[in-house]
């Protein structure tokens, strides 16, 4: 359940960054790089907390972290691909 909540948070963060960033006047390229860097940092922090406080093995956190990072980034790639046509 925690993984689903974190992925949902990533998708909401993506939507907010794209919506607010475009309204402010940032380019999509800047917003894309900013989201990927921010989401990677948040995913690493989330995984570190899972290893340190919850006692999860590093190997399982790497697998879950890959999914947590990959789903919002895949949504970003899909959005960028579909919005260019």
Give DSSP secondary structure letters for the chain.
-HHHHHHHHHHHHHHHHHHHHHHHT--HHHHHHHHHHHHHHHHHHHHHHHHHTS---HHHHHHHHHHHHHHHHHHHHHHHHHHT-
Band (pLDDT 50/70/90 cuts) for residue 22 is very high
Instruction: Provide the residue ranges of all domains of the chain, joining segments of one domain with +.
Output: 2-83
- The mean per-residue pLDDT over the stretch 57-66 comes to 94
Residue 45's pLDDT is: 96
pLDDT at 17: 96
Q: What per-residue confidence (pLDDT) applies to 85?
A: 54
> What is the mean pLDDT of the segment spanning 43-47?
96
């Amino acid at each position: 359940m925690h993984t689903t909540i974190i992925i949902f948070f990533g998708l909401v963060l993506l939507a907010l960054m794209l919506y607010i960033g475009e309204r402010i006047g940032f380019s999509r390229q800047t917003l894309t790089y900013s989201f990927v860097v921010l989401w990677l940092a948040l995913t690493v922090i989330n995984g570190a907390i899972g290893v340190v406080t919850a006692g999860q093995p590093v190997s399982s956190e790497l697998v879950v972290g890959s999914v947590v990072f990959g789903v919002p980034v895949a949504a970003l790639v899909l959005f960028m691909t579909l919005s260019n046509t």
